[in-house]
């Protein structure tokens, strides 16, 4: 006897479509790859910006420690050759009594003093066609006429700068000893030099020649709050006229014998 079931037969089992499943896997993989590429692109952009910022800082530092034209040569990968200059004017100054002042001050007070003073000086010399060669302790060295030659103007530029610096130091106040007057001593000389970049890790633009030594002697044999000139600088200044000069006389200098020197008192028509 045939029995009829009230339940319909089970429908056939559904088999997943292999093509649809593989398509989902591929889409997922492509999506992940796209996300990875985007993340990688952002990372590259960040690293590139960081590199460019560090490069900018390095170039800015290069321009601070070397003359602009010399820094440009180094940026282009060129070798900076030493160069001879027939006539430049060199300025040296230091603070009379600095050793005693330092002994009576804390190291931090000395650092603050020099930082304040050189910040003041740097602002002054920016107004003239000069290049600050270096500072060593309280010694300040500046030159005009290199690396870009300026004819005979170098003596006039340095003379005007020296008068401006002397005027600035008269109103300069030491933070921890505000009643004390800094006594700046200045020496200037004109002559030939050789200049070039020395060193790799910390390159420096250095000057060589007897002119450097003579300028240093002019400073060390000078007097506080006065500008001591060599006869060579005096001769160039007289070509321009307008400067008030006074004969100091013959001064005995180490390695030089007796040298005739002058005081620079001012410039006519100037407020200095």
pLDDT digits (tens, 9 = 90+) for 31-52: 888 888 888 888 888 888 888 8
Taking CB atoms within 8 Å and a gap of at least 24, the contacts of 97-101 are 97/183, 98/137, 98/138, 101/177, 101/180
Does residue 230 have a pLDDT over 90? yes
pLDDT at 75: 81
Question: How far, in Å, CA of 52 to CA of 54, rounded?
Answer: 5
Distances (CA, A) of 235 to 64, 107, 132, 152, 185: 33, 43, 24, 11, 21
Q: Per-residue pLDDT for 16 more than 70?
A: no
Report how far residue 14's alpha carbon sits from residue 7's, in angstroms, rounded to the nearest whole number.
20
Please check the confidence at residue 161 and state whether its pLDDT lies above 50. Answer: yes
Give the model confidence (pLDDT) of 117-160 as tens digits.
999 999 999 999 999 999 998 999 999 999 999 999 999 999 99
Domain 81-267 has CATH 3.30.70.1230: yes
Structure tokens at 221: 């044999």
Per DSSP, 129 falls in state S
Average the pLDDT over each of 15-29, 96-110, 121-135, 177-191 and give the range with the smallest value: 15-29
The rounded distance, in Å, linking the Cα atoms of 7 and 138 is 109
Residue 109 above 70 pLDDT? yes
User: Which residues make Cβ contacts (< 8 Å) with residue 123, sequence separation at least 6?
Assistant: none
Place of tokens 């006539």: 87
Q: Which residue has the higher pLDDT, 43 or 25?
A: 43
Confidence of residue 256 (pLDDT cuts 50, 70, 90): confident
Averaged pLDDT for residues 67-93: 89
pTM of the model: 0.79
Query: Tens of pLDDT along 174-225?
Result: 999 999 899 999 999 999 999 999 887 788 899 999 999 999 999 999 999 9
Query: Crossing angle, helix 231-240 and helix 153-170, to 10 degrees?
Result: 100
Give domain limits for the chain: 42-77, 81-267
Where helices occur in the chain by DSSP H, the ranges are 18-65, 68-75, 98-103, 107-125, 153-170, 210-220, 231-240
CB atoms within 10 A of CB 131: 22
* Nearest CA among 197, 245, 211, 213 for reference residue 87: 211
């Amino acid at each position: 006897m045939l029995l009829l079931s009230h339940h319909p037969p089970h429908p056939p089992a559904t088999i997943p479509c292999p093509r649809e499943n593989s398509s989902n896997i591929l889409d997922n993989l492509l999506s992940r790859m796209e996300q990875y590429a985007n993340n990688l692109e952002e990372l590259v952009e960040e690293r590139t910006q960081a590199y460019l910022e560090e490069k900018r800082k390095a170039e800015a530092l290069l321009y601070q420690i070397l003359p602009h034209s010399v820094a440009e040569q180094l940026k282009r990968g060129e070798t900076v050759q030493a160069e001879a200059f027939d006539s430049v004017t060199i300025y040296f100054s230091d603070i009379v009594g600095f050793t005693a002042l330092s002994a009576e001050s804390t190291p931090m007070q000395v650092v603050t003093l020099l930082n304040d003073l050189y910040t003041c000086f740097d602002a002054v010399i920016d107004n003239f066609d000069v290049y600050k060669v270096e500072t060593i302790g309280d010694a300040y060295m500046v030159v005009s006429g290199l690396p870009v030659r300026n004819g005979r103007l170098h003596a006039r530029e340095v003379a005007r700068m020296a008068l401006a610096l002397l005027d600035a130091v008269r109103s300069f106040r030491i933070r921890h000893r505000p009643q004390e007057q800094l006594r700046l001593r200045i020496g200037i000389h004109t002559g030939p030099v050789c200049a070039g970049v020395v060193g790799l890790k910390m390159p420096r633009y250095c000057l060589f020649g007897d002119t450097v030594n003579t300028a240093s002697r002019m400073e060390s044999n000078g007097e506080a709050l006065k500008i001591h000139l060599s006869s060579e600088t005096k001769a160039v200044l007289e070509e321009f006229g307008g400067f008030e000069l006074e004969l100091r006389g013959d001064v005995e200098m180490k390695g030089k014998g007796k040298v005739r020197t002058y005081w620079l008192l001012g410039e006519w028509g100037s407020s200095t």
